């Protein structure tokens, strides 16, 4: 870790995140910026991929850090844009939690916006990993999760329940369990091959996902490893029991749960929906590998 003074911040804000709370949060932290004589600029997204396109463009003003104000989808667009544009080597990023899930921010350990900006201004730098995803000729990057099977289905359901706020993830999970179906999973993890029906597959770079679910309790986004959670087979009652353990992280001790750490994996099953950093995007097959300490985070 290293420290450097933060004097100029470029905020990238999703006005729809957290049911519109991000604008209010920005107004709350402006006082901290002004009292510390920090110069700042603001970009507001208008729709899907606006943030990604902004980061990829030449429109970012001179700054010490680009700061995400939104949920995990906003973080994904910024970090994916930084990696695909090559700017990750020069431009640091940071987070003011402003979404409904805030899984990445919870992994960092700070969910209060005013305290988050105070920490950012101290300029503590940390190099973190990303997951490189190859889907045919397309390459993208994730810093939080890649989900398949029920992990993708639950995210699709939660998208339709945004009006409910953070609890939508829990409700979507219960609906997903009630309607769950197995799918054929052809998976290669390092030297292991799995070819059988499965319910759930999730690759994580962070400890948390959803709203407070401690999905990968041993995850560390600086360790050069991807944490894998998988349910091959379980009854609905067993899955409910596993779900109840997610918030403490004790689910990893359940005999029906596989928890591994790998450097790469490939899903060869074709045409299955994916959940990438909380966004419903992409299809299998995919090849994924960890890119070690490729993004600078101001934490």
Residue 210's Cβ-side half-sphere holds a number of Cα atoms within 13 Å equal to 26
Contact call for residues 243 and 204 (beta carbons, < 8 A) = no
What pLDDT, on a 0 to 100 scale, did the predictor assign at position 151? 84
Architecture of the CATH domain 140-291: Sandwich (2.60)
**Average pLDDT for consecutive 10-residue bins of the chain (299 residues)?**
84 84 90 93 92 95 95 93 96 91 88 93 95 96 95 81 75 82 91 90 94 93 96 89 93 94 95 91 94 96
Sketch the domain layout of the chain as residue ranges. 2-130, 140-291
What pLDDT, on a 0 to 100 scale, did the predictor assign at position 18? 67
Instruction: Report how far residue 44's alpha carbon sits from residue 23's, in angstroms, rounded to the nearest whole number.
Output: 9
What is the total residue count of the chain? Answer: 299
Distances (CA, A) of 87 to 79, 92, 139, 266: 10, 9, 16, 27
What pLDDT, on a 0 to 100 scale, did the predictor assign at position 176? 81
What pLDDT, on a 0 to 100 scale, did the predictor assign at position 76? 95
What pLDDT, on a 0 to 100 scale, did the predictor assign at position 164? 73
2-130 CATH: 3.40.50.10330
């Amino acid at each position: 870790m290293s420290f450097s003074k933060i004097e100029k911040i470029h905020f990238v804000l999703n006005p729809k995140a957290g049911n519109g709370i991000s604008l209010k949060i920005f107004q709350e932290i402006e006082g901290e910026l002004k009292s510390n004589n920090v110069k700042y600029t603001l970009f507001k997204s208008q729709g899907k991929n606006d943030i990604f396109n902004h980061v990829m463009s030449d429109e970012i003003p001179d700054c010490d850090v680009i700061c995400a104000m939104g949920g995990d989808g906003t973080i994904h667009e910024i970090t994916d844009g930084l990696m695909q544009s090559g700017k990750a080597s020069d431009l640091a990023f940071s987070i003011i939690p402003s979404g409904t899930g805030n899984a990445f921010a919870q992994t960092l350990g700070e969910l209060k916006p005013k305290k988050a900006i105070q920490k950012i201004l101290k300029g503590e730098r940390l190099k973190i990993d990303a997951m490189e995803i190859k889907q045919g000729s397309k390459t993208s990057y994730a810093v939080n999760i890649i989900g398949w099977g029920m992990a993708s289905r639950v995210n699709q359901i939660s998208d339709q329940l945004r009006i409910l706020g953070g609890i939508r993830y829990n409700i979507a999970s219960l609906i997903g369990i009630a309607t769950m179906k197995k799918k054929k999973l052809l998976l290669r993890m390092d030297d292991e091959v799995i070819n059988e029906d499965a319910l759930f597959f999730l690759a994580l770079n962070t400890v948390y996902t959803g709203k407070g679910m401690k999905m990968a309790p041993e995850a560390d986004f600086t360790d050069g490893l991807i944490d894998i959670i998988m349910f091959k087979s379980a009854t609905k009652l067993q899955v409910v029991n596993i779900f109840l353990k997610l918030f403490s992280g004790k689910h990893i001790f359940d005999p029906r749960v596989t928890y591994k750490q790998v450097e790469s994996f490939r899903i060869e099953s074709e045409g299955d929906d994916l959940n990438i950093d909380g966004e419903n995007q992409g299809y299998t097959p995919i090849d994924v590998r960890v890119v070690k300490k490729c993004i600078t985070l101001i934490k």
